[in-house]
Amino acid sequence: MTYDHILVRYGELALKGKNRKTFMQILKRNVEKKLSDFPNIKVKAKRDHMYILLNGEDHEPILKTCEDIFGIQSFSLAMKIENDEDQIKAGALEALKLENGRTFKVTCKRPNKDFPISSQDMNQILGGHLLTNTEGWTVDVHNPDVELRVEIRHDATYITAKKIPGKGGLPVGTTGKTLLMLSGGIDSPVAGYLTMNRGVEIEAIHFHSPPFTSERAKQKVEDLGRVLTNYGGDVKLHVIPFTEIQQKIFQEAPENYGMTIMRRLMMRISERVAKERDILSITTGESLGQVASQTMESMHAINEVTNYPVIRPLVAMDKLDIIKVSKEIGAYDISILPYEDCCTIFVPKQPKTRPTREKVNEFENPIDFSKDIEKAIENMETVTLSANESQVEDEFEDLL
Amino acid sequence: MIYLDHSATTKPAPEVLKTFQKVSMDYFANPSSIHSAGSESEKLFKSARKQVSELLKVLPEEIVFTSGGTESNNLAIKGIAYAHENRGKHIITTRIEHPAVLQVCEQLEREGYEVTYLPVDQNGFISIEDLRSAIREDTILVTIMHVNNEIGSIQPIEDIANLLRHYPKIAFHTDHVQGFGKLPLPYEMEGLDIVTISGHKIHGLKGTGCLIKKRHISLQPLFQGGSQEQSIRPGTENLAGVVSFAKAMRLALNHQREYQRIKTLQQKLYEQLSNHSAIEINSPKHGAAHIFNFSVLGFKPEVLIHALAEKDIFISTRSACSSKENEPSHVVLACGKETAAESALRVSMSMDQAEEDIDLFIKELFKTIQQYENIMG
């Protein structure tokens, strides 16, 4: 008897009444996609648990992957055993022998009331069996090194030892789609990640201003987008050519309002792209008070141009906490690469930290951006970033 | 041609050469240049580093590309010695290291460092006990080779690492030049800090190689210049070399499974040569499969090498780096075989060596011995 499957416990999705079935199906699809490198596994979604049958695949990398999937509350390596007292005893012994530690506790659950022995009695029986047949182990019901869980269900009994916490949240794809404004800094990938945590699928939009921003800066954004694919599926990245618009702002608007006007144009373009793609919201990495463009006044002035929901997951987060998440998700080292993005060029010497709607409209109205916006959207390029293989490597495959 | 001198160098694999050519022509831009051609080169460079890090199961930033074994050994040993001279000046190594380690240690001795040279038994193995008792308060580095280049003895690198992980202030370096692609090491293992790998011993190109350097290890660079390779090894990246090296590594690891087959060829050499009255075997029975060292007593080794070369069979005396000195092999001497050391010969096989090569070599060797026996004897 060895561990032959992984028992996956649903998180919040177990609470979601009528939608539950869709949620389960989406989680199953996400899990299958993430584990597509392991052709032999089989995923079975049941009402209250999901099983990943290993069918001989190595469990270590699969466990590691499960840690990155939203919608999983916790998971455990498990063995499936017939509902038979002797077999359960043997399985429990096998499971304990694979663990390191000195104290244990058996926790039996019996949703299947047809099984003749109560869970209390079963705890006693198994505890005794384990103590007699092992050396060096003692029982500690309060603070055990190993908690052996035995669940006697209708179809079979499942034995698990270690409970590994999952990411929680909701399966990506269950709560719609958002358009993430991805800059290349530290904040926006974190904003994307946190939105995904609530089951939201991501498409990303990036404003590219060659020659003021380099190919490397674009590459960096692609790499950041690819980081996000680790936690959901593929990410579509829309790259908007933004040079001409930026030049026009620079030439025709007062310097200290340039930043606000630029942000408003980005927001307008984003809303247009979202609308065309049936995406119902826009997500940004804005956090209050970080830089000049992220004051309450600034947000008020920028938000005027859209009535789409603008999701700002970082708005109340401290920078240090944002950095912590950035490091956890593997984005930080990419984010800090020193390439210019379109927000760091044309920075006015004294940007308006308290812009007003009246003023910005006064400066912006005389300039006609409508054709520029059309043109930028027309020339938008879209790349699909994929989790499993990096395009970079494909390109060089024959060389390496 | 029957080439049996693979521990000296190998013939580049055609795919490796093709990569080198293509990268030299298509990606000649400097990876550090900010224009898009430079950016393409940088992308390729990163991909090569990523491939190497995945093959070795270490982090991308734990790889320092160098010009090969000699540079890597110099960088590892001097890099540790100079970085930690205030903490201690004691180094432990063995008597059977490659000249690129021994002579670096000798140089450091002239600069005021103290070096302990561990002895080996007659099979060319050090003892862990000797190592343990050589460790001092001021020891900063242990450098012990993995597979010996002359006789093929294999040092217990994992045991050494397991011992040294309890001494976090001592860095452990191993010269893995003859082991890579034949006998893998657990590169990610705690206690194993620095590892030398060379390209041209694994059908890569001369002038390519790397050092695995764990994150917590700091090395003083050998030369100053740009900020390439985290400033540990400045100089414009040898992109074509690095990419071809990454490819050579991948191919070498694919061929590693041939090792068992090579072992049977070595056994054949062992059995047939040990039956000959004039031959003494210097390689240990449980050494690396691809290296086989023996002495034809009374024969000047050069005579046999030249005689076999006339028949298009190429073997060598010992290390190419020391074979021009007219001295007995320091490795075989260290194993306590004084007479044999005078006439040591080395056969070293590649992972795709044909069995017929070995048969023919044995036949011609015996014939040559017979032919010159009277004159030499």
SS3 sequence, B161-209? HHHHCCCCCCEEEEECCCCCCCCCCCCCCCCCCEEEEECCCCCCCCCCE
Nearest to A215 among B39, B51, B243 (CB): B39
Q: What's the pLDDT score for residue A351? A: 72
Size of interface A-B (CB pairs under 8 A): 36
Per-residue pLDDT, averaged over B132-145, amounts to 97
Q: What is the pLDDT of residue B226?
A: 87
> Are A347 and A259 in contact, with CB atoms under 8 Å apart?
yes
B259-274 helix and B355-376 helix, angle to the nearest 10 degrees: 30
Q: How far is CA B102 from the centre of its chain?
A: 13
DSSP state, residue B11 = P
Residues A187 and A253 occupy one common structural domain: yes
Q: What is this model's ipTM?
A: 0.78
Return d(Cα B231, Cα B224) in angstroms, integer: 8
CATH number of the domain to which A25 belongs = 3.30.2130.30
Q: Is A195 within a domain?
A: yes
Range A57-70 average pLDDT: 90
Q: Which two structure tokens, joined as six digits, stand for A224?
A: 């950041």
| Residue A206 assigned to a binding site | yes
The model's confidence at residue A290, banded by pLDDT at 50, 70 and 90, is low
> How large is the average pLDDT for residues B67-88?
97
Three-state SS at B152: coil
Would the annotation count A285 as a binding residue? Answer: yes
In A203-242, the residues whose Cβ lies within 8 Å of chain B are 214-216, 219
Nearest neighbour of B247 by CB, restricted to A216, A219, A400? A400
Both A153 and A188 in one domain: the answer is no
> How far apart (Å, rounded) are the C-alpha atoms in residues B239 and B27?
8
Res A117 pLDDT > 70: yes
CA–CA dist A50, B19 (Å, integer): 47
Q: What is the largest CA-CA distance in chain B?
A: 71
CB-based contact, A392 to chain B, within 8 Å: yes
Domain around A186: 177-385
What's the pLDDT at B332? 92
Amino acid code (one letter) for A100: N
Q: How far is A394 from chain B (nearest CA, A)?
A: 10
SS3 A243: helix
Residues A65 and A112 reside in one and the same domain: yes
CA distance B154 to A376: 64
Is residue B190's pLDDT more than 80?
A: yes
Could you give the CA distance from residue B155 to residue B292 in angstroms, rounded to a whole number?
16
Q: A227: Cβ–Cβ under 8 A, 6 or more apart, which residues?
A: A189, A329, A330, A331, A334
Determine the 3-state secondary structure of B285 from DSSP.
coil
Order of all β-strands in the sheet with B194-198? B63-66, B209-213, B194-198, B171-175, B139-143, B90-94, B114-118
Q: Could you tell me if A399 lies within 8 Å of chain B, comparing CB atoms?
A: yes
| Angle of the B239-255 helix axis to the B36-56 helix axis, nearest 10 | 30
d(CA B322, CA B328): 10
With a cut of 70, say whether residue B103 has pLDDT above it.
yes
Q: Residue A194: inside a domain, yes or no?
A: yes
User: What is the number of alpha carbons within 13 Å of residue B167 lying toward its C-beta?
Assistant: 20
Q: Which two tokens stand for residue B112?
A: 């005021």
| B41 → chain A, closest CA residue | A396
- The answer to whether B209 and B197 are in contact (CB under 8 A) is yes
Mean pLDDT for chain B overall: 94
Q: With bands split at pLDDT 50, 70 and 90, how would you rate the model's confidence at B339?
A: confident
CB distance B292 to B266 below 8 Å = yes
Which among A214, A216, A400 has the least Cβ separation from residue B51? Answer: A400
Q: What is the pLDDT of residues A294-352, one digit of tens each?
A: 889 999 999 999 999 999 999 999 999 999 999 999 999 888 887 766 556 666 677 77
Residues A243 and A304 occupy one common structural domain: yes
Within this chain, do residues A292 and A204 fall inside the same structural domain, yes or no? Answer: yes
**How big is the CA angle at B70 (ends B66 and B76), to the nearest 5 degrees?**
70
The CATH code belonging to domain B14-255 is: 3.40.640.10
Asked if B284 and B123 count as a contact pair (C-beta separation under 8 A), the reply is yes
Helix segments in chain A, DSSP class H: 20-34, 59-66, 85-97, 119-133, 187-197, 215-229, 243-252, 255-276, 296-303, 319-328, 332-335, 357-364, 370-378, 391-396
- Across the interface, of A216, A393, A395, the residue whose CB is closest to B39 is A216
pLDDT at position B83 over 90: yes
Chain A within 8 Å of B267 (Cβ-Cβ)?
Answer: no
| Half-sphere exposure of residue A307: CA atoms within 13 angstroms, side-chain side | 0
The rounded distance, in Å, linking the Cα atoms of A9 and A73 is 6
| Average pLDDT value for chain A | 89
User: Quick one: tokens of A133?
Assistant: 């047949």
Q: What percent of chain B has pLDDT over 70?
A: 97
Q: Do domains B2-9+257-376 and B14-255 have the same CATH topology?
A: no
Contact B39 A393 (CB under 8 A): no
Judge: A214–B247 Cβ closer than 8 Å, yes or no. no
Residues in chain A with CB shorter than 8 Å from the CB of B22 are 399
Calculate mean pLDDT across residues B316-338: 79
* Mean per-residue pLDDT, B238-260: 95
Q: How far is A37 from chain B (nearest CA, A)?
A: 16
Contact yes or no for A219 and B39 at CB 8 A: yes
**Amino acid (one-letter) located at A326:** S
Provide mean pLDDT across the span B175-198: 96
The pLDDT confidence band at residue A288, using thresholds 50, 70 and 90, is: confident
**Residue of B24, B28, B30, B47 for testing the chain A interface, max A β-carbons within 10 Å:** B47
**Interchain CB contact of A337 with B (< 8 Å):** no
Output DSSP code: residue B276. Answer: S
Across the interface, of A215, A216, A393, the residue whose CB is closest to B47 is A393
Hey, which residues 2-41 in chain B have their CB within 8 Å of chain A?
19, 22-23, 34, 36, 39
Q: What's the rounded Cα separation, in Å, for the pair B44 and A164?
A: 38
Give the pLDDT confidence score for residue A216 in this predicted structure: 84
Q: Please identify, in words, the CATH class of the domain defined by B2-9+257-376.
A: alpha beta
Per-residue pLDDT band at B324 (split at 50, 70, 90)? low
| Mean pLDDT for the stretch of residues A180-184 | 94
pLDDT at residue A213 is higher than 80: yes
Instruction: Look at strands A138-139 and A103-109 and give their pairing.
Output: parallel
Verify that A141 and A229 share a domain, yes or no: no
DSSP code per residue over B93-126 = EETT--HHHHHHHHHHHHTT-EEEEE---TTS--
Q: Chain B: residue nearest A390 by CA? A: B47
Would A245 be classed as within a structural domain? yes
**For B251, nearest residue in chain A (alpha carbons):** A400
User: Which residues from chain B sit within 8 angstroms of residue A392, using beta carbons?
Assistant: 43, 46-47
Task: List the single residue in A with minimal CA-CA distance to B21.
Answer: A399
- pLDDT tens for A73-102 read 999 999 989 999 999 999 999 889 888 888
Residue A288 sits in the same domain as residue A206: yes
Residues A207 and A113 in one domain: no
Report pLDDT digits (tens) over B273-290.
Answer: 999 999 999 999 999 999
Question: Does A214 sit within 8 Å of B34, measured CB to CB?
Answer: yes
- Tell me how many domains chain A contains: 2
A190 and A145 belong to one structural domain: no
Does A129 carry a binding-site annotation?
no
Residue A74, token pair as written in the block:
């916790």
Closest-CA distance, B46 to chain A, in angstroms, reads 9
> Is the residue at A393 inside a domain?
no
Q: What pLDDT is stored for residue B36 in this prediction?
A: 85
Give the model's pLDDT for residue A340: 67
pTM: 0.74
**What residue in B sits closest to A211 (Cα-Cα)?**
B35
Mean pLDDT calculated for residue range A48-59: 89
A157-160 and A146-152 as β-strands: parallel, antiparallel, unpaired? Answer: antiparallel
Q: Minimal Cα distance from B245: which residue of A? A: A400
CA distance B323 to B302: 10
Does A396 contact chain B (CB < 8 Å)?
yes
Break chain B into its structural domains and give their ranges: 2-9+257-376, 14-255
If phi > 0 it is left, if psi is from -120 to 50 it is alpha, else beta; for residue A380 that is beta
Q: Is residue A236 part of a domain?
A: yes
Do residues A72 and A50 both lie within one domain?
yes
Are A130 and A204 in the same domain?
no
CB contact under 8 A, B34 and A216: yes
Total residue length of chain B? 377
In a 3-state reduction of DSSP, which class is residue B217?
A: coil
Q: Which residues of B touch A37 (CB under 8 A)?
A: none
Query: How much is the pLDDT for A389?
Result: 53
How many Å lie between the alpha carbon of A255 and the closest alpha carbon of chain B? 29
Backbone torsions φ then ψ of A153, nearest 5 degrees? -105, 180
* Closest partner CB to B246 (pick from A219, A395, A400): A400
- pLDDT at site A211: 82
Cα–Cα distance, A160 to A157 (Å, whole number) = 10
pLDDT of B377 higher than 60: no
With 90 as the cut, is the pLDDT of residue B211 above it?
Answer: yes
Calpha distance A27→B293 (Å, rounded): 61
Which of A105, A134, A165 terminates a domain? The answer is A165
Number of helices (H), then strands (E), belonging to chain B: the values are 12, 12
Asked if B42 and A396 come within 8 Å (Cβ–Cβ), the reply is no
Tell me how far apart the alpha carbons of residues A137 and B14 are, in angstroms, rounded to a whole number.
Answer: 59
Bridge partner list, B117? B93
Band of the pLDDT at B325, cuts 50, 70, 90? low
Q: Which residue has the higher pLDDT, A22 or A322?
A: A322
> Do B43 and A392 lie within an 8 Å CB cutoff?
yes
Asked if residue A336 belongs to a domain, the reply is yes
Asked which of A115, A138, A165 is the last residue of a domain, the reply is: A165
A391 in any annotated domain: no
Predicted local distance difference test score (pLDDT) of residue B74 = 98
Tens digits of per-residue pLDDT, A214-253?
Answer: 888 888 999 999 999 999 888 999 999 999 999 999 899 9
Distances from the Cα of A132 to the Cα of A82, A135, B36, angstroms: 22, 8, 70
Comparing CA positions, the residue from B273, B272, B55, B73 lying closest to residue B181 is B55
B321 is catalytic: yes
Q: Tell me: do A132 and A51 sit in the same domain.
A: yes
Which of A61-65, B33-37, B135-139, B324-328 is predicted with the least confidence, judged by mean pLDDT? B324-328
> Looking at the domain assignment, is residue A395 inside a domain?
no
Choosing from B105, B210, B321, B335, the catalytic residue is: B321
- Contact of A104 with A145, CB cutoff 8 Å: yes
Residue B190 sits at φ, ψ, to 5 deg, of: -70, 140
Q: For chain A, give percent helix, strand, coil, nearest 5.
A: 40, 20, 40
